[in-house]
């Protein structure tokens, strides 16, 4: 939770960058008029007039011609229309200025330097054998704007005219427009006119005409692959299917927005949990009555970090089962200029104080050595890692193995601690695993559906599923936050690459909402009693940071204040040792922890440094399976044609 504002800021930056990446300049195509003349030999003579509005500087305009349903593009030319009042039907070459064209496969780029203005550009080209003629009918299908990345912007007000080579009775031919919002405007003996108010990016705009082949006098007629009646039936079914798909996509987009909103609201509700919103004005000294390990557990919301062991040992100290004293560090530390010369040692004294199973386990794990009188003791020397000097000399292998063994033993002990906390009903851990697995399943299912709803790249969904399985192979059971977050971010990034453009915004908002909700789900929910203590902890931390440890306290209680300040992450606080009149030799016997901190030999801080120095440059931290986190974690004419396919072969237009 302490890192949540940073994560929110990162998510906001991602969304803001995504939504504003084209804000520096923009292009709109406000009107398109296409006139296709059918020749008796089966070619199409295409004249197109595009009206562009440029916001910003551009050097080129681009027209991508579909590859399907013809044998090639010939004589492609581009012109800037100098007479804005000229119409496509009666245009003169004196009204136009020819542009240099650079062909690249099915893409044609024309040089046109513009800035913050509107321009009309005319494209002229021939599609060879674009008409398929059979014994009983002819078929012309032209996906002017396809479903791939070539069609990367909405195109407004598209008018398409087909002109027959000879007159036809309007009842003898059939015209269709494969477009979500388009329709047939006019059918005459000479011309068929289609219109769509908007050809949406990556959506098909494809006219198709089935007409008598008798007027195709320059073409040889082959046998039709299907009868005219069957072709008409397929068109009828296809029209129903296109409408159904469009409705499904619109519903799914609204569903993603709705789901995102619901999860954001749910995240807001989780932020209002008592363990997060309660406030306290208790006196800082009131915290001395609580066991230090109990305070540590509540502050971390039962999620283990490197201070767990110190908290557990000092709990035994305050129960009177263990005493603490200053001890000299080992020789290897004495030889390291940056290492402290003193540390802490703890001695176990059997008593009648009842101990829990976890406390007994801690004693059996740590207090294995014996002094001369047979008393069991434990020193921080026993668990120190490598010194900085040894780290620089790369002499850390033994310490690394020792640290891994220590982590495994610590995990076993902390697992027992969690069981006892649950038995006492201080914590509840059902929400996090259930919520996390639901989120993972929901993201995986809806992302896969987002791929398939527009028949996106098969390679993309396969790659995504492979990467997801790799990331989730451990995350599903261990529920490690870093692995779950990695899955979410990989999902978002692969979605930007492979998901259809119209779904990217709702898809991105959906994934961001999942991340925000996930980060607000606590690992454990504290009881009301524990939540109130956590409020006291926050107040204690605030007061000690502001006012320091009180100067009026007795020396015998100073270590109680000090250990709570250390365990509860009070980063900076004042401690005036001059207020205590005892000499340092006596003072260190009464409050060894405080004396070492005052002398710049904070044992807990140095212990964490040696653990860090013991780790290789690349390693996989061990997992605390009981809490599910890493140990260092915090809180053609054969029927209906689909037109442009997704491989970059479809029609489109744009500018650079």
310 and 414 within one domain: yes
Instruction: Report whether 597 contacts 572 (CB < 8 A).
Output: no
Confidence band (pLDDT; 50, 70, 90) for 644? very low
Length of the chain: 656
Residue 614, pLDDT score: 87
Domain count along the chain: 3
In the chain, the N- to C-terminal Cα span, in Å, equals: 44
441 and 344 within one domain: no
Q: Is residue 572 part of a domain?
A: yes
Does position 618 have pLDDT exceeding 60, yes or no? no
Does position 350 have pLDDT exceeding 60, yes or no? yes
The CATH number linked to 76 is 2.60.40.1730
Partners of 74 in the β-ladder: 126
Residue 647, pLDDT score: 44
Of 505, 520, 535, the residue at which a domain comes to its end is: 520
308 and 356 within one domain: yes
Residue 640, pLDDT score: 34
What rounded mean pLDDT belongs to the chain?
84
Q: Kindly give the pairing relationship between strand 206-211 and strand 342-348.
A: unpaired
Q: Is residue 636 part of a domain?
A: no
Does position 1 have pLDDT exceeding 60, yes or no? no
Instruction: Report whether 152 contacts 201 (CB < 8 A).
Output: yes
308-318 and 558-567 helices, crossing angle to 10°: 160
431-453 and 501-520 helices, crossing angle to 10°: 180
454 and 394 within one domain: no
416 and 475 within one domain: no
Confidence band (pLDDT; 50, 70, 90) for 634? very low
- Extract the tokens encoding 227: 């009868």
Confidence band (pLDDT; 50, 70, 90) for 164? very high
Q: State percent of the chain over pLDDT 70.
A: 86
Of 586, 605, 624, the residue at which a domain comes to its end is: 605
Q: What is the pLDDT of residues 543-556, one digit of tens each?
A: 888 888 877 787 88
Of 491, 520, 549, the residue at which a domain comes to its end is: 520
418 and 450 within one domain: no
Instruction: Report whether 482 contacts 630 (CB < 8 A).
Output: yes
Domain of 441 in residue numbering reads as 259-271+430-520
Q: Quick check: helix, strand or coil at residue 129? A: coil
Q: What is the pLDDT of residues 404-446, one digit of tens each?
A: 999 999 999 999 999 999 999 999 999 999 999 999 999 999 9
Q: Is residue 325 part of a domain?
A: yes
Q: Is residue 634 part of a domain?
A: no
Q: Is residue 630 part of a domain?
A: no
480 and 413 within one domain: no
Phi and psi at residue 89, to the nearest 5°: -70, -30
Confidence band (pLDDT; 50, 70, 90) for 518? very high
560 and 509 within one domain: no
Q: Is residue 565 part of a domain?
A: yes
Q: Is residue 617 part of a domain?
A: no
Average pLDDT over residues 372-393: 88
Does position 392 have pLDDT exceeding 90, yes or no? no
Going by C-alpha positions, the residue among 64, 142, 79 that lies closest to residue 109 is: 64
Average pLDDT over residues 323-339: 89
479 and 569 within one domain: no
Q: Is residue 72 part of a domain?
A: yes
What count of Cα atoms within 13 Å lies in the side-chain half-sphere of residue 126?
8
Confidence band (pLDDT; 50, 70, 90) for 525? very high
438 and 301 within one domain: no
Residue 495, pLDDT score: 81
Could you tell me the CA-to-CA distances from 203 to 336, 483, 592, 653 in Å, in that order? 70, 36, 74, 13
Does position 524 have pLDDT exceeding 80, yes or no? yes
Distance CA 413, CA 466 (A): 36
Residue 588, pLDDT score: 83
138 and 117 within one domain: yes
Distance CA 644, CA 636 (A): 12
421 and 560 within one domain: yes
């Amino acid at each position: 939770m302490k890192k949540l504002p940073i994560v929110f800021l990162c998510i906001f930056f991602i969304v803001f960058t995504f939504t504003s990446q084209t804000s520096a300049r923009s292009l709109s195509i406000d009107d398109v008029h296409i006139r296709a003349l059918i020749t008796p030999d089966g070619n199409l003579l295409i004249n197109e007039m595009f009206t562009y509005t440029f916001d910003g500087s551009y050097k080129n305009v681009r027209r991508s011609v579909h590859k399907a349903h013809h044998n090639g593009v010939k004589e492609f030319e581009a012109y800037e229309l100098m007479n804005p009042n000229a119409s496509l039907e009666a245009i003169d070459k004196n009204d136009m200025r020819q542009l240099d064209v650079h062909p690249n496969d099915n893409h044609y780029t024309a040089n046109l330097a513009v800035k913050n203005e509107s321009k009309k550009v005319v494209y002229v080209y021939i599609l060879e054998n674009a008409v398929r003629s059979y014994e009983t009918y002819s078929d012309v299908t032209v996906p002017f704007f396809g479903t791939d990345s070539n069609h990367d912007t909405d195109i407004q007000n598209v008018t398409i005219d087909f002109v027959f080579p000879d007159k036809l009775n309007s009842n003898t031919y059939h015209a269709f427009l494969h477009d979500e919002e388009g329709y047939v405007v006019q059918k005459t003996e000479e011309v068929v006119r289609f219109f769509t108010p908007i050809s949406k990016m990556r959506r098909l705009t494809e006219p198709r005409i089935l007409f008598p082949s008798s007027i195709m006098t320059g073409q040889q007629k082959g046998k039709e692959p299907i009868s005219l009646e069957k072709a008409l039936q397929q068109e009828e079914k296809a029209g129903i299917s296109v409408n159904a798909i469009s409705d499904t996509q619109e519903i799914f987009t609204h569903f993603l927005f709705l789901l995102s909103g619901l999860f954001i609201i749910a995240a807001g509700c989780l932020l209002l949990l008592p363990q997060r919103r309660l406030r306290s004005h208790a006196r800082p000294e009131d915290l001395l009555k609580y066991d230090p390990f109990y305070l540590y557990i509540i502050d971390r919301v039962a999620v283990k970090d490197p201070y767990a062991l110190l908290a557990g040992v000092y709990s035994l100290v305050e129960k009177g089962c263990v005493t603490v004293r200053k001890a000299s560090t080992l020789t290897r530390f004495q030889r390291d200029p940056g290492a402290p010369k003193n540390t802490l040692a703890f001695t176990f004294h059997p008593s009648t104080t009842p101990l829990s199973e976890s406390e007994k386990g801690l004693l059996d794990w740590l207090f294995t050595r014996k002094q001369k009188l047979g008393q069991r003791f434990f020193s921080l020397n026993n668990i120190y890692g490598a010194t900085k000097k040894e780290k620089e000399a790369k002499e850390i292998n033994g310490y690394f193995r020792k640290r891994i063994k220590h982590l495994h033993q610590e995990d076993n002990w902390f697992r027992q601690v969690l069981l006892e906390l649950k038995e006492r009903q201080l914590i509840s851990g059902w929400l996090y695993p259930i919520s996390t697995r639901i989120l993972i399943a929901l993201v995986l299912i809806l992302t896969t559906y987002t791929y398939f709803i527009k028949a996106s790249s098969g390679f993309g969904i396969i790659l995504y599923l492979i990467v997801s399985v790799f990331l989730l192979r451990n995350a599903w059971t261990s529920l490690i936050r870093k692995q779950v977050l990695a899955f979410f971010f990989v999902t978002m990034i692969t979605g930007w690459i492979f998901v259809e453009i119209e779904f990217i915004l709702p898809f991105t908002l959906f994934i961001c909402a999942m991340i925000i909700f996930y980060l607000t789900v606590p690992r454990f929910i504290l009881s009301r009693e524990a939540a109130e203590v956590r409020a006291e902890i926050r107040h204690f931390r605030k007061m000690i940071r502001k006012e320091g440890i009180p100067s009026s306290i007795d020396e015998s209680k100073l270590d109680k204040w000090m250990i709570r300040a250390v365990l509860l992450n009070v980063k900076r606080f004042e401690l005036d040792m001059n207020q205590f009149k005892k000499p340092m030799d006596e003072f260190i016997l009464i409050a060894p922890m405080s004396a070492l901190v005052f002398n710049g030999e904070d044992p807990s801080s140095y212990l964490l440094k040696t653990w860090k120095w013991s780790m290789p440059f690349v390693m996989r931290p061990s997992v605390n399976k009981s809490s599910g986190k890493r140990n260092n974690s915090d809180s053609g004419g054969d029927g209906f044609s689909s037109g442009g396919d997704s491989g970059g072969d479809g029609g489109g237009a744009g500018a650079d």
